[in-house]
Structure 1
Amino acid sequence: MRTLSFLLLCLGTAHAIFYRECTTPEARAAERCCPNVDGSPCGSSTGRGSCLPNTGSNRNMGIVRISMDDRYDWNKFYFKYTCQCNDNYYGYNCGECKPGYIGADCTTRKVVMRREIRELSERERLRYIATLQFAKTVTSRDYVIVTTGDRLHKDTFQFRNVSVYDLVSFSHYYATKPMINDSNMFYNSNFIHGSCGFATWHRMLLLFAERQIQNCISDPDFALSYYDWRDESGCSVCNNNLMGDSDPQGLLHDFSYFAHWRNICGGYYYDEEYCPMSECECEREKLHRKPFYGPFFTRMPTSKEVSDTMQWSTYDTEPFDPTSRYSFRNCLEGFMQPSDGVTRALAMHNYVHVAMGGTMSEVPIACNDPFFLLHHAFIDKIFYLWILSFNVQPKDYPACDKIGHRPYDYMVPFFPFYKQRDMLTTFDFGVVYSTYKNF
């Protein structure tokens, strides 16, 4: 009975990618996503929001021809009208509060603390792991993802059910697919890596995941945990009491809490498709993880490498790509040696992904591994402390010219819409970090 109660709780509403009510043939034909709340579209009768035409666009990108890449014009491709919320109201129908606020009128501040996973008591750790398990297994009642056999043909797009956790994984996968221009695939960049939007987009992903899970278990106090990997000679959380040990083939041990987890969108090498999925989950590939499997991976990044990363006062520098020098973003992402800011190197964020091997090392599907959230929450803590150190504000987001990474580009595929520059602050999202092993 207790399990059933949890399952029922997880069927509550949450904001996400595609709201089910707006993917009906009628809604798609009308290109309108303005569901009712408080008896009126977007809660307009109670002042929550209004159903308005979407303004602004990601599309003015200096590209002459664009063939059916829905992400270029994210806020207009699917819907011409959506809910635009007032004050601190939030969500697909303005029925929720923005991150950092609670209450009937969304005016009460709410702050959660993200703690290092080893700070948690045994009871808290078990509850954290159990919460991820529920999020992985329970189908979202209100939201679906897009799948297609051919990204170039809109009439092949289909929407299908997905679990709460898989919805988060899909967000990362969807944004990393190769860009399409004039029916050609481009692999040198994507919407979330290798340029200015790396830290800001992944911050939005964490907020998105946190809200999804909070709503899933009806607990606004739930917070993601992080893993402070500095100076470790191995992976101290890769054991069966936490994230799981691995066998020689890279499969998680049978006694691991995550041994049965399977990847969503595992066939990511099919660049023309969105999220090929088997009807039977049992046919999906299991998680793999092979920490420090190669001779070049003997340790985690050091405290000095983290402090060296934080010395760079400029968020990003031209040409806003993996060759950017003296760039905090580029050193944090791990394309540049943090000590001098000019030497190309595998470091920081990138190094940890590759060192963990398996699913974590395959960028599009990396979020399938729950280790991903621990890792990126620590990357975000570094980002958080850097912002505080230099008093950085959204106005400091650079004049980046890379597709999807520009300051006013909408972050794909989040709905409601957020701009990249919106995330360059620490004060608006109701999240703080613990001082565990503080810098």
Structure 2
Amino acid sequence: MNLLIKSATIVDPNSSFNQQVADILIKNGTITEIAKDIKADVTVFDATGKYVSPGFLDLNCNIGELGLESKENLQTGTAAAAAGGFTGIALMPNTQPPVHSKAEVEYLLNRAKGNLVDVYPLGTLSHKREGKDLAEMYDMYLSGAKAFTDGNRPVQDAGLMERALLYTKGFEATVFSYPEDTAIAGKAKVNEGEMSTLLGMKGIPSLAEELMIARDLYPAEYTNSKIHFSTISTARSVELIKEAKKKGLKVTCDVAAHHLVLTDDVLAGFDSLYKVKPPLRTHKDVKALITGLKDGTIDAIVSQHTPHEIEFKDVEFEVAEFGIISFQTTFALALKAGLSVDLIVQKLAVNPRAILDLEQATIKADQKANLVVFDTTTAWKYTKENNKSKSYNSPYIGETLKGQVLLSCNNNHLFKSNLS
């Protein structure tokens, strides 16, 4: 792949060209030159007024392989990821079978070879995600698993969490915790508050999330191990993690993009497309999450891409599955939340790689071209036709969004948007 990107504003804190307008020449998938005015007999992409940054990396997404390919497979999932600017994705092990041994890790890595999007399988923390016995974490780590989590099943056994943290410390891996106390959350479907009362539905109190964060911070401190909290959603959660960071704990966290722009007010119409977990919270929580991103408490933004067949979403709210597809809307939602370009790049590209202990994708000469070109002003309509996912469970299909990914480049492959 040979390409000349003209007059792009480079946003990369690890590059000496950060905040400069320059041309970027890519030959055979490698950045060969960055300068003010490059002449070359290759395809030219005019990026005047646009931005280029390292490719985004998603720390929380679901793709159906293994076993749930009717929801999404690696081909459609990585196509949607590339269209959203993601050149790397960390796959949750919420599959059938779950990714709980080196066989599943190696299968996914082999299936993903040669793709524009780098795939990083996350191994399960417990065998079969049952929350009883530790999985074969070291074997999975040697095969390429980058972190360990039971995905959307919170670990209820504090002893198991403590043993997992202690065990992974031996090879410096990170444990991802989905914070929810199921004894408190129960089978509720929405946030506990005014809206749940109005809807006549039992709610999930913020305490269910906050109590689990408080609990997991203790064994993380006791073992001096790395812990990452996935998709926090409440104001108090932000406070707890901020306090832990001040104490010097090895703690990081992320937030799903939709939790930055949506509140439980949108549930007034019982639209199951807005049914997510953790549930949409309140305006106070949204404000605290955005503040947490800006002050550095929250390290990353994730898509939490969760595809479902129509029969699991186009049903009554109570029985619908949790989750929305979101690879192609994450960047636009981050802009909608009022975040600056610099901050978005930090939370979508730089910090996620640091959390997984990956080499940074850097925009400089003699480096592999792992980058995304985007603008912040162009409006585009998200439709079933330009949706790259196999599933359609997004409340934003049919909506006009501002902020568009124009190019994604990685592994000598190029995605170019055809959005009008």
The alignment's TM-score, normalised by the length of structure 2, stands at 0.31
Give the strand-richer structure, 1 or 2: 2
